[in-house]
Amino acid sequence: MSHRKRPPLALSTGALAVCAALACGDGSAPKTGPVKTAEHKSEAKAEKKKARPVPSAAQLLDASKKYFAPLPARAESPANPITPEKVALGRQLYYDTRLSKNQDLSCNSCHKLDDFGVDHEPTSPGHKGQRGERNTPTVYNAAAHFAQFWDGRAATIEDQALKPITNPVEMALEGDAAIVRVVKSIPGYVDAFKAAYPAEADPITTTTIAQAIGAFERGLMTPGPFDDFLGGNMTALNSDALRGLELFIELNCVSCHTGPTLGGTMYQKLGSVKPYTTADEGRFKITGKPEDKFVFKVPGLRNAAKTAPYLHDGSAKTLGDALAVMAEYQLAKGKLDDEETTYLTAFLDSLTGRIDAAYTAKPELPPSGPDTPKADPS
Ligand code: HEC
Ligand code: HEC
């Protein structure tokens, strides 16, 4: 964010109403002359600031349908049909710290389900407090993305699910066989996997463990006011959010942030209009192609108001910081004025969704068996 002196914030309709009621004016000496009504005053104020007119909700809805879609109730995949048994298992595994070497980390340590699926760290502490290079993205709505991770190196949520468990700076189990060994050592899991996979001779494998976690994650969808709007509720967005949505389309944020999660449908270079300095070469590390340098998955913007800090390295502390990077490096726009930032932020607020507390609550975990490994701090 720039440190230049901010002009007075563009007042939202709500703030104007409060100001009108309090007759707060601009703080200068009492005015003489004809008494103006509160309504005249606020009109004059709006005029002075040239507030962006409130767009027609109906017209904006038509335009929006070209770029966005409501979230599905669940991100279904024919490759991993969702069953209640898999979901229940996936939920337990998600919270189970025995899947980490020192038995002190679960998926929920970094992707906190009661905090929009993040931990608010620029980079998250893993095994022995080690930190990776990238910011932890939210798990909410991630299953609806076309690929997983900032660089898309896992194709599906199931392909992604076991990678953090064996990542030495995350949960640090030593290889996929160790994951299977831990799960098989817990008698309650043995019974539950048998029930979830009755046709399998060997129901506990890396495939079925990944499917269980994936089936649970496919239900982590957070519909909110924006979905209500896309469903035809013309009053679901307040006037600032409508202005922000119009700007989001006008400024062409939609060339990258599109689809049901407003992202997660393509890769783009960070610094598409102006070189951006970052140590992380993004997809180049996966493909080795020069054109993939600094290319990342366009992140989804669902719940963005609640998932600070931002960008692949967590370097943008606030949403305003992230928007400033977008305007300067992703659009030829250069700078957003305070009013534009206010409206875009109001629109992003409307993407804050409803979390199903019953679905995401920590379940009871089955007790360890005699062969379950002990915590290993080394
Ligand atoms: C130590 C912190 C940590 C733990 C523990 C952890 N993650 Fe992550 N997770 C991350 C980070 C960091 C990334 C981004 C890494 C990258 O893109 O290279 C990530 C990425 C993801 C993504 C991709 C989301 C997207 O938008 O691309 C999913 C899904 C995910 N993790 C699920 C899980 C699951 C399931 C577990 C437990 C089995 C887990 N994570 C454990 C830190 C963690
Ligand atoms: C040319 C494609 C492109 C355009 C246009 C674009 N973005 Fe982005 N956006 C990205 C990419 C890529 C990232 C991730 C960059 C990174 O961290 O490496 C991103 C990240 C973000 C983030 C941070 C999300 C997070 O979880 O870290 C926000 C917020 C955001 N964009 C909003 C916007 C807004 C608002 C606009 C329009 C003013 C916009 N973007 C325009 C490609 C784009």
Q: Are residues 190 and 291 in the same domain?
A: no
Is 78 a domain residue?
A: no
Residue among 93, 254, 249 nearest 158 (CA): 93
Whether residue 38 has pLDDT greater than 80: no
Q: Which residue type sits at 13?
A: T
Q: Looking at residue 166, which CATH number applies to its domain?
A: 1.10.760.10
**What pLDDT score was predicted for residue 111?**
98
Q: How far apart are CA 63 and CA 57, in angstroms?
A: 10
Using pLDDT thresholds of 50, 70 and 90, give the confidence band for residue 332.
Answer: confident
Residue with tokens 């005699």: 370
Check if the beta carbon of residue 91 is closer than 8 Å to that of residue 363: yes
pLDDT of 151 > 70? The answer is yes
Domain assignment present for residue 28? The answer is: no
pLDDT at 309 exceeding the cut of 90:
yes
What contacts 223, CB < 8 A, 6 or more positions away? 70, 71, 73, 353, 354
Query: Residue of the nearest CA to atom 33 in ligand 1?
Result: 107
Q: What is the pLDDT of residues 350-376, one digit of tens each?
A: 999 999 999 999 999 999 999 999 999
Tokens 């970094």 belong to 110
Same domain, 148 and 203: yes
Split at pLDDT 50, 70, 90, the class of 51 is confident
Supply the DSSP string of 97-157, one letter for each residue: GGGSTTS---HHHHSBGGGTTB---SS-B-GGG-B-SS-----TTGGGSSSBSTT--BSSH
Q: By the 8 A CB rule, do 219 and 76 touch?
A: no
Same domain, 268 and 340: yes
Band (21; pLDDT cuts 50, 70, 90) = very low
- Determine the pLDDT at residue 42: 53
Residue 10 maps to a domain: no
Report, as an integer, the average pLDDT of 196-224: 98
The residue among 84, 88, 105 whose CA lies nearest residue 96 is 105
Tell me the pTM.
0.89
Within this chain, do residues 231 and 154 fall inside the same structural domain, yes or no?
A: no
Read off the pLDDT of residues 79-114 as tens digits, 9 standing for 90 and up: 999 999 999 999 999 999 999 999 999 999 999 999
How far, in Å, is the centroid of ligand 1 from the Cα of 352?
20
Q: Are 148 and 274 found together in one domain?
A: no
> What pLDDT, on a 0 to 100 scale, did the predictor assign at position 55?
96
Section 240-255 average pLDDT: 98
C-alpha 32 to ligand 1 mean position (Å): 63
Are the C-beta atoms of 113 and 360 separated by less than 8 Å? yes
Q: Which residues contact 294 (CB under 8 A, 6 or more apart)?
A: 269, 270, 271, 276, 278, 280, 281, 282, 284
Catalytic-labelled residue, pool 39, 133, 170, 339: 170
* Residue 328 annotated among the catalytic residues of the structure: no
99/152 same-domain check:
yes
277 shares a domain with 213: no
First-to-last alpha carbon distance for the chain, in angstroms, is 42
Which DSSP letter does residue 323 get? H
Q: How far apart are CA 168 and CA 258, in angstroms?
A: 34
CA angle 315, 316, 320 (to 5 degrees): 170
63 and 184 assigned to the same domain: no
DSSP state of 282: B
The two tokens of residue 115 are 């905090």
Based on the domain organization, do 64 and 104 belong to the same domain?
Answer: no
Last residue of a domain, one of 204, 221, 238: 221
Domain boundary among 161, 187, 221: 221
Give nearest CA residue, ligand 2 atom 1.
330
115: pLDDT strictly greater than 90: yes
Query: pLDDT-based confidence at 50, cuts 50/70/90?
Result: low
- From 221, 243, 268, the end of a domain falls on 221
Residues 337 and 240 reside in one and the same domain: yes
Q: Of all residues in the chain, what percent carry a pLDDT higher than 70?
A: 87
Q: Answer yes or no: is 374 within a domain.
A: no
With tokens 């966005």, the residue in question is 68
Distance CA 91, CA 217 (A): 8
Which ligand is nearest to the Cα of residue 118, counting in written order? 1
Confidence of residue 49 (pLDDT cuts 50, 70, 90): low
Burial 176-204 (b: 16+ CB within 10 A, else e): bebbbbbbbbbeebeebbeebbeeeeebb
Same domain (yes/no): 60, 92 = no
Length of the chain: 378
Residues with beta carbon inside 6 Å of ligand 2?
248, 251-253, 255-257, 268, 270, 272, 296, 298-299, 301, 304, 307, 310-312, 319, 322-323, 326-327, 330-331, 344
Instruction: Report the domain count for the chain.
Output: 2
- Assigned token pair, 254: 């939609």
Domain interval for residue 170 = 84-221
Q: How far is CA 279 from the centre of its chain?
A: 23
- Cβ atoms within 10 A of the Cβ of 138, count? 22
Looking at the fold, whether 323 and 343 belong to one and the same domain comes out as: yes
